Chain A
């Protein structure tokens, strides 16, 4: 069975600085998708960035980028120029490429606080 682990329950960053959130996963599949979701206090889960495992190039979305290390099964999220609005719970998630159920497997989450 696939698992996703986020080993940092809480992280803190100064406004305008850079922070990296860690995620590791375990799978025997060769094709899959990885995601980072943001969940602010409003509870709405928002997709931040996605990575297809067959792509070697790391995904980038404005201030958000990932470091995808397939062999190490590591998928970290880097937030550059942190803003107060980035404060939220961040979840790493996995989905098998051929998973007909569309099932997302989530990590435990990392709570990010941004200090002004």
Chain B
């Protein structure tokens, strides 16, 4: 079975632009979470979606938004990019949002903002 997939692998954007990152969960998984990992630090939680509804949100500005589609894939959108948004963006999927404790991570999207 395919694991969590993310696209694109790498992305270079200019300050002020908008970016969309995509994630496909493991087949059968209904929950997707997004994390931001700045170089040299641990991942920081951004969002969790379960059954197409937002179930959790981290301490990120409103420039960050996400959604989950009927097939459980997800998009993370970031508007008005700042240099500080440069990071590895990780997507994780799990079987269920409330009680399942195991999250499986994708390879990430490396975003560079210049």
Contact A105:B45 (CB < 8 A) given known A44-B107, A45-B90, A99-B56: yes
Question: Which chain B residues (72-114) contact chain A, with CB distance < 8 Å?
Answer: 88, 90, 92, 94, 97-98, 100-108, 110
Closest to A42 in B: B107
Interface centre among A4, A45, A105, A108 (most CB of B within 10 A): A45
**Total contacts A-B at CB 8 Å:** 70
The answer to whether B41 touches A109, judged by C-beta atoms less than 8 angstroms apart, is yes
CA distance A42 to B98 in the complex (A): 30
The answer to whether A50 touches B102, judged by C-beta atoms less than 8 angstroms apart, is yes
Closest to B50 in A: A102
**Any B CB within 8 A of the CB of A84:** no
Question: Which chain A residues (75-116) contact chain B, with CB distance < 8 Å?
Answer: 91, 93, 95, 99-109
The answer to whether A102 touches B42, judged by C-beta atoms less than 8 angstroms apart, is no
Interface size class for chain A? 20 to 34
Q: Which of B44, B57, B90, B101 contacts A95 (CB 8 A)?
A: B101
The answer to whether B31 touches A102, judged by C-beta atoms less than 8 angstroms apart, is yes
The answer to whether A103 touches B33, judged by C-beta atoms less than 8 angstroms apart, is yes
Contact A106:B43 (CB < 8 A) given known A100-B97, A100-B98: yes
Q: Which of B41, B43, B97 contacts A102 (CB 8 A)?
A: B97
CA distance A95 to B58 in the complex (A): 14
* CB proximity of B26 to chain A, nearest CB, Å: 13
A42 contacts across to B, CB distance below 8 A: 107
Interface string of B3-43 (1 = CB under 8 A from A): 00000000000000000000000000001010100001111
Question: Which chain A residues (47-99) contact chain B, with CB distance < 8 Å?
Answer: 47, 50, 52, 91, 93, 95, 99
The answer to whether B43 touches A45, judged by C-beta atoms less than 8 angstroms apart, is yes
CA distance A100 to B101 in the complex (A): 11
Enumerate chain A interface residues (CB-CB to B < 8 A). 4, 33, 37, 42-47, 50, 52, 91, 93, 95, 99-109
Enumerate chain B interface residues (CB-CB to A < 8 A). 31, 33, 35, 40-45, 48, 50, 55-58, 88, 90, 92, 94, 97-98, 100-108, 110
Q: Given contacts A47-B104, A93-B42, A100-B97, list 6 more A-B pairs with CB under 8 A.
A: A43-B108, A45-B105, A95-B101, A100-B55, A104-B103, A109-B42
